[in-house]
Structure 1
Amino acid sequence: INLSFFLTLLCADLFSPPCQSAPVGLNSSSVFHNVTLSTVMRCEGRQKCSLHLRVSTVLHLTESIHGVSICTLTAGMMGACRLLSFSKASRQKLDGQQVAYCLEVQVTLKTLPSYCGVTWTRSYRSPDCRSGDLRRHIPECITGRLWYDVNPEKKELTVRVSDMLEDKDYHLRLCRKGFICTGTGSSALIKKEETKKNATLSYSRPLPCLCIEGWSATMDAPRVQVCPFKDRLEELWFGVTYDPVEETLSWEPTCPVTAEITLCQKGEDGVCVDLPRTSQTVGREKVEPHPEMCMKVMITTDFALFGS
């Protein structure tokens, strides 16, 4: 018998009776053939879809097998089983077990009655929100798509939103990307009733870590980010200051970076030659961020060269 079905699993049969000794010649390879696991979407509307587990198998029935049980188990959740009994006249429609995206599921098939050693078990990982279909149709994956135009004279970003959740408002903000994306104070709320889904956000400097972040006005909504100035590395040097009295060079970049500092001596040809054993790599990956934390480089010449 060729079975292809969706699982609607019940919290039952979790404490089933012990398995029976299998008849001679009966084993998992002789009963279950070509078992495949996959996910499908069940939709009630364009943006109202859910993900369901699909199990397909060829089952070899004998007089000693009356049906099959299908059980799933995920970490931190109670297991669930569905019992299917077969007869010549039996027919039933199976709707499907809803599963979360990016979820590890263990699926086990057993015979009815349960025979010792006659089982099929595999792990299956449901797709994550990077899948295009999920990002368009699963509410928990829909982030919206961001488009922008830059007005450098006014220091403004005009942001347009498409493919957002139709029944929810939408948040937009500017943030500096680092350990987290820290808001700059420039934000907007697009109402779901508005025909034009756009807003204008102001910025002070076109920093490479400055990003536009958008998300639907719902609990634990996924977020999308685009960084318009990610290639503007020269903007990082605006955090460099030199104190001629203390002979200190300080660099407090607005964006979190990893940098290699090297002292060098400038020759008559204009080339700055690195001084041996003066290189130092600094970064903020393992340092708790603080607005007063600075990087200080002591120099003994009147010249210093920084590279991006």
Structure 2
Amino acid sequence: MSMSVLEALTPSTAMQCFTPNGCSLLLRVRASITLHERLRGLETCITSLDTQETQCQSVWVARASHRQQAGQQLQVHFGCFEVSVAQRLYVTLRTIPHFCGVQLDQSHLVEAGQLSYWVDRRRKAILVQVPRASGSPDYFVRLCLKLFTCKDAGAPVLVNASSVSRAVSLPYSQELPCLCLEGWSATPDAVRTQICPFENDTRALEMLWDTVHYHPGSQTLSWEPACPVSGQVSLCWCPGPGDSCHKLQHSSQLAHRRVQYLLVDTQPQLCLKFSTSWGSWVRCPFKQHRFPTPPTSRCTCVTEGGHSSQPVNLHSRPAHFLQPQLTWKLPLPLPSW
């Protein structure tokens, strides 16, 4: 069997909490392999270099899949090993049955200065385990929003070095990609450790596009990013359920700051489209008829020179210059106003 069957071995530190004051450090082991018809399973072992104690776990490959899936890649997640802070480990990965020379190994240090955390979505809190090490000073932890600097999203919490429990619970109001956990020793000019739990979280990304507001008095539609965003915002027109939202010409604005559109009519088909490096999202704030419609409506006209507006009778068909200017090449039916 070739060594190429074992592609990667990735150990990482995690934390498990059963109660706010009862947490333990764990080592997670993940492997990437290429399936082989002679492969029956995998075995990973960790050996403490301080005590020479060894723990092993095995996983098995379903026999029926050997020939059918040979050559396919597979991600394998082993169970967790309980470890302690500053422990030096030797991690190995071997095949079952074992073939001479087909093995991956890696040294791993459970870092004493690394924060471990667990997100409790039900309670909207992040449980933080501050590592304990011999002679370690008091420690501060806080939540902050990573903008140009990390802006406070809660008061810093002091964890005393003499505390029996080094676990704290930090409540948050909203899951955001820029919501970060920051920790530092209570010593002058201490280096700060920063971890952003929701940085690549799909649910947190969705939250960014929900802060759309409409002011009926001034008929202003606005959106302001809660986190730094690189991309564009534009008005778009969605003819019906399941249809693509067609961008209105000359309505694009940069998404890194507050975006607003003046004198916007509350048309259910009028939406906002967000285009970023993460993907595209569409929000239609008037679809649910949450906002009152003025007796004489005004409609945003997006022209090459900027935005202009003209009064429109709600029962009449819009004039030609008031029709939404779409980037769609084919003729589209006029919307009902």
Report the TM-score range of the alignment, normalised by the length of the smaller protein. Answer: 0.3 to 0.5
TM-score, normalised with respect to structure 2 = 0.43
Bigger Rg, structure 1 or 2: 1
> Which structure carries more relative contact order (alpha carbon 8 Å, separation 6+)?
1
